[in-house]
Amino acid sequence: MIYAYAFVAIAACVAIERFHNRKAKIAIALALAAFLAVGPRFYGNEAVFSILADAAVYVMLALGLNIVVGFAGLLDLGYAAFFAIGAYTYGMLASPQFGLHLPFWALLFLAAALAALFGALLGAPTLRLHGDYLAIVTLGFGEIVPQIFQNLTKYTGGPNGIAALDVPTFFGHSFGASVMPYYYIALVGIALALWISRNLRESRLGRSWMAIREDELAAKHAGIDVLRAKLAAFAIGASFSGIGGVLFAAKLALVSPDLFGFQVSVLIVSMLVLGGMGNIVGVVVGSLLLTIVNSALLPQINSLVDASFHTTLDLSNIHFLIYGAILVGIMLFRPEGLLPNRERRAELHHAGEAEAEA
């Protein structure tokens, strides 16, 4: 059943990308929204809702990272740190840890603001770095944050994390043990993230990001405030991750530093590369594909291998190898991604033609 929802969503995204008629795109988007809102209620269970909710959270994370990497061209390998900041914001302020029980809805905005603040704090001293140097600094930040949460045992619970988080309520009605409410909240979050991403891309700030991505020196001489634009990219992208962290923590009812390691950042970057960096629809497709592979396909392959060959082979332990194979394959056969934006497709194809002529 989960594969059917993923197939319909991916097919609709591809149709939206391929059609040029605005009315047709809107009609497909509305039909997809209605299907995702109504379908799981009649043809789904808690397991399906759980996987779909996780997929929706990762779509939000990928859309946030797309602002930093796809729009502004800044390689961020520590994006999971903002995910952890959002999750621990909910864990520390809506649990018995400090005796605080702030509302879930207020913490969504607070986590977004805190993640944006830390994104700006990360960006401020690193904005003059480029390429590999920026990637190494963000990688270090992504490793430092989970270690801080792990070692501040008095405040964060240390390696055991924080459990028994508050169950959210909506107008006095508790979510209970059901995963369904988190799925619908995540759907609304995706809709807002898509709207924000699209408007940012078409805005003056978005055009500044594109100019910086193509040629930072030329953008600076054209009068663009490069430092401020980069800082905005880090802050806005991090805020998406903060909201996703709150949803993720509330759904699990616990937070632990093990949940926000480097592999999470690798997964999200892989989603961008697979779908097509800079293309909003492509990022959604890449997120859905890798989430389904990670959450649904790998466990079933394990069962299939065990039944067929009577051996125990846990493919979930080699997910880095699988992601690496996907990235290598994409870079070799379709370096622009499955659904690239026009600029990146033209850039890569022009480079390939130039090399062939040389």
pLDDT band at 349 (very low <50, low <70, confident <90, very high): low
The CATH number of the domain covering residues in 45-357: 1.10.3470
CB 116 within 8 A of CB 239: yes
pLDDT in tens, 101-155: 999 999 999 999 999 999 998 888 877 788 788 889 999 999 999 999 999 998 9
Give the distance from CA 105 to its chain's centroid: 20
DSSP string, 261-275: SHHHHHHHHHHHHHH
Backbone angles phi, psi at 231, to 5 degrees: -60, -40
Report how far residue 38's alpha carbon sits from residue 36's, in angstroms, rounded to the nearest whole number: 6
Report whether pLDDT(347) > 90. Answer: no
The sign one gets for the Cα dihedral 346, 348, 350, 352 is negative
pLDDT tens, residue by residue, 196-230: 999 999 999 999 999 998 888 899 999 999 889 99
Beta strands per DSSP E along 162-256 = 162-163, 169-170, 173-174, 254-255
Query: Has residue 350 got a pLDDT over 60?
Result: no
Q: Which two tokens stand for residue 121?
A: 């704090």
pLDDT reported for residue 323: 67
Residue 346 confidence (pLDDT) above 80: no
Rounded to whole angstroms, how far apart are CA atoms 5 and 209? 34
What is the signed CA dihedral for 177, 108, 192, 62, rounded to 10 degrees?
-80
Per domain, the residue ranges of the chain are 1-44, 45-357
